[in-house]
Amino acid sequence: MKSRFRNYLFLLNLLTVIPLLANGHADIVVDAAGNGDVRTITEALTKVTAFSYPRVVIFVKNGVYTEKIRISQNYITLRGENRDSTIIRFSQLRSDWDAKTDCIGPAVVNIHGDDVVLDNLTIENSQPEIGPHAFAIYGKGTRTVIVNCNVLSKGADTVSLWEYKNGMYYHANCRFEGAVDFVCPRGWCFIRDSQFYEVKATAALWHAGGYDPGQKLVIRNSDFDGVPGF
């Protein structure tokens, strides 16, 4: 019963979020060239209060943003101008971060708020090695939505949303790339109309649902490809 209730709430959230993706409203505009409110995504996030409601939309203009970010607030939408031309890129091995931690997190995009939406972006962990753990997105929030995004890494665990008790995630029209277990949710996850590309001849997916027997990873209308031998 609890699982059904959680899923019902998640569906209600999607019904409110998805229509917002179609409009052009923005509360904060980020432009590396200086033609917005701020030049970096990190600076934009500092302008959002700790308890952000209603939803705050941060619009990111085309450009390469070489930064790691941490989203701690709830109800944040991070929307790019163009999926292929709005790029958040940073080189970060998990082992390097474990050896010398910071307050941002081990990934390029670190999500610690609930009801976060990533839309129309490329998020890339640009470390060059094939295989080691290298998160592009890491999260401990729930009701995380990723749509119309390229999420790329040459390492393992590209997309690691790990709120194992209550985590609910929706991904659509995305391209995911990585090595071992490069999409590895904990909780409930539904993915549709997406592409998966494995850069190493290893397993692409991993799911942890041991906390609740109702937790599932469901993928529909999606394609898998990879290096020879995958």
pLDDT, tens only, 49-61: 988 789 999 999 9
CA 213 and chain centroid, separation? 25
Beta bridge pairs of residue 221: none
What are the tokens at 119?
């839309």
What's the distance, CA 160 to chain centroid? 8
Quick one: pLDDT at residue 144?
A: 99
Beta bridge partners of 169: 144, 189
Helix (H, G, I), strand (E, B) or coil at 94: helix
Tokens representing residue 215 in the block: 């937790």
Question: Exposed/middle/buried for 30, CB within 10 Å: 0-12, 13-18, 19+?
Answer: buried
Per-residue pLDDT, 10:
60
Structure tokens at 69: 């970010």
pLDDT value, residue 24: 78
pLDDT reported for residue 224: 98
CA 86 to chain CA centroid, Å, is: 14
Integer Rg of the chain from CA? 17
The reported pLDDT for the residue numbered 53 is 85
Instruction: Give the chain's domain count.
Output: 1
Range of the domain at 186: 2-226
- Return the closest-CA partner of residue 106 out of 122, 117, 95, 118: 95
Other CB atoms within 10 A of residue 214 CB: 13
Give 46's contacts (C-beta < 8 A, 6+ positions apart). none
Q: For residues 183 and 195, what is the distance between their CA atoms, to the nearest angstrom?
A: 11
pLDDT exceeding 90 applies to what percent of the chain? 88
Per-residue model confidence (pLDDT) at position 11: 59
pLDDT at residue number 40? 99
Residues of the chain with pLDDT under 70: 1-23
Looking at residue 13, what is its pLDDT?
A: 58
Residues 6+ apart with CB under 8 A from 179: 130, 131, 132, 153, 154, 155, 156, 198, 199, 200, 202
The pTM of this model reads 0.92
Q: Which CATH number do you get for residue 202?
A: 2.160.20.10
> What pLDDT score was predicted for residue 64?
99
Q: How far apart are the first and last CA of the chain?
A: 39
Q: What is the pLDDT of residue 52?
A: 79
Q: Please choose, from the candidates 70, 57, 79, the residue with its C-alpha nearest in 3D space to the C-alpha of residue 113.
A: 70
